Structure formats: C-alpha cells, structure tokens
Structure 1
Amino acid sequence: MKFVEVPMLPIVIPFGIVIFLVLMRVLRSRGRVTLPRASVAAVLAIYAGGVLANTVFPIFLRVGTGFYDGPRPLALYLVPFVDYGLEDALINVAVFVPLGMLVPLLTARPSWWKVVAIVAGASLLIELTQMATARLALGGHLADINDWLTNILGGIIGYGLFVLLMRSTKVAGFAQRFQWPVRERAGSSPA
C-alpha cells in the first residue's frame, strides 16, 4: 500500500488569505478599516495558517483511492493528564497565548469568559479536525483532551497578559488604535 503526503502550503496559504479577507470584510462593514486594525487581521490570518499547518499536517492519502480504509484505533484521548509530557503541555500553552491576546482586540467589551469560549471553540475545532484527518486520511496528529485543556490555559494566560498590559495608560492608548469596536451608532464619531 503506497501513501502520498498532502502538500501543506496549497491548503494553508489560501486558508490564511480567506481568513484575512473575511476579517477585512468585517472591518469594512463596520466602517473601521485602518492600517493598525488591518494589521491585526493580517496577524490573525498568519497565526491561523500557522496553527493549521502545525496541528493538522502532515496528512497522508492512499494512492489510488485517496482515503485510508484500513483498521486503526480511534485517534482520540479522553483521559486527562495520562502520558502527557511537560514539553507537550508547554508547547500547547504557548501556541494559544497569542490568541488570548488577539481576541480582546476583536471584541467590543472583552471579558475572560468570551476569551475562554472563543479559545475553547477554536481548540475543539482543531482537535475534531485532527481526529477526522487521523481517521480518514492518516493524519499525523491525534485528538487529545490534554491539548484542549492546555490550549485553553494558554488563551487564559494570553488574556491575563493583555489585561495586565492594559493597566498602563500608554500601552492602552497605543492598543486602542488596534481594537475593533462594534459599528458606530448614528451621530457618534468613529475612533
């Protein structure tokens, strides 16, 4: 049985571009397009592409039929903190710290629960994608409850750092140019 690796860049680059275009459309619909806010969209698109590249790939397809239909165990680990190394935990925390810092820039009134919900949802989507690619196409990663939990921890740490940095009036004033508040109401001036 022969397998071929699915090329990563032809998938990751368009994915990042689509993310960027969607974010720019959101900005435009709100009448909030500025260079600092567009840079947040670009950073988030690059971040999303990088996370996709490093959490889902490599993926292998069987030559001739595509999907793999042979026997293998379900690629899902639901028991927390069993056979989970410190290095894996630290990497998963570190990967989601930036998301915890970016989410507050995109929301009108950031809060810890919004950040946790978005980070948990993004991480769950990654874990489900890993499970699907491992099952259907011999993906190189497995869905793991530990990854999900440490990703959420990373997002919380990122949000905590954001809140800490916003206590400085200089940093808060600078960061305000990058924030994406909701659409302005009629009669109010845009930021």
Structure 2
Amino acid sequence: MLFVVAWPTPVDVGSRGLIFRVLRMLHRHGVPEFVNYNVIEFTANFAMFVPLGFLIALLFGPRWWWAALIICAGLSVAIELYQYLLLPDRYATVRDVVANSTGGTLGAVLALAPIAWHRRAQE
C-alpha cells in the first residue's frame, strides 16, 4: 500500500493502454459501458483499504472496532494531502477518499464476524 501511495507518478501510467484495450474488449462482450476507467480506479482504491480496515478492527477488538472507520478515513485524507502537496504528478481527489474510506469500512464490518467468534470462544 505504501508503495502505491508514495509512488511519484500514477502507478498505472505504463498500463493505461492495456487497461483501455481490455475495457473495449469487455464492452464488446457484454460488460456494460458504465464499467470504465473511473470505476476500475474507484474499485482499486476501495479494495486497497478493505484489508486495512479489517486488520485495524481486529487490532482494536470488540469495543473499539469502529475506530477503524475513523483511522481509515483519516489516513485516506492524509494520503490525498500528501499527494496534493508533495507529488505534483499525482491527483488528489475526494473520490479517492470516499473509495478508501468505504473500503476501510467494509473491512471493519467484515472483521465483526471473527471478533464475535473469538469473543464467544472466550466466554
């Protein structure tokens, strides 16, 4: 995650042509047109934060699992500020904050099952 966040240029810059070719092929084979580059980028940002939210929720446990939501959102804002202020070739967007925060939230919610299981096992 740190590698992707701190890279000085967009990490997909060398593969955009391939991404667009694959998207055209998928569209020709029935994938809806709304599945475009922006959807793929949003999904990648979302997916990058799911494990983080999961791990933070596990770390904080049953009483404070929700802190993962705040931590993931705060980290996302910090990342976007870092990119905006220090990486002129990167794009800082609110959409990335939304994607990252939503992914972190899903990860934290998914952690509730093992948290509950562990809690029951200890009773």
State the TM-score, normalized to the length of structure 1.
0.44
Q: CA RMSD in A?
A: 2.3
Partner deviation per Cα, 1:48-89 (whole Å, 9 max, x = no partner)? xxx221022126xxxxxxxxxxxxxxxxxxxxxxx9711011
1:104 — aligned with what?
57
1:162 — aligned with what?
111
2:99 — aligned with what?
150
CA distance in 1, matches of 2:85, 2:7: 12
Q: How far apart are 1:163 and its partner, in Å? A: 0.7
CA distance in 2, matches of 1:155, 1:53: 18
* Identity within the alignment, %: 33
Helix, strand or coil for the counterpart of 2:64?
Answer: coil
Larger proportion of helix = 2
Please list, as runs of the form range in 1=range in 2, the aligned pairs for 1:80-99 lying within 5 A after superposition.
85-99=38-52
Alignment length (residue pairs): 93
Partner deviation per Cα, 1:146-166 (whole Å, 9 max, x = no partner)? 000010000111011111233
Larger proportion of strand = 1
Please list, as runs of the form range in 1=range in 2, the aligned pairs for 1:1-191 lying within 5 A after superposition.
51-58=1-8, 85-107=38-60, 109-112=63-66, 114-134=67-87, 138=88, 140-167=89-116, 169=117, 172=118
Partner deviation per Cα, 1:104-145 (whole Å, 9 max, x = no partner)? 233252232x121111111111000000123xxx3x321100
Higher RCO structure (Cα 8 Å, ≥6 apart)? 2
Consecutive unaligned residues in structure 1, runs of 5 or more: 1-50, 60-82, 177-191
Q: Which amino acid aligns with 2:64?
A: P
CA distance in 1, matches of 2:38, 2:99: 12
Higher Rg:
1
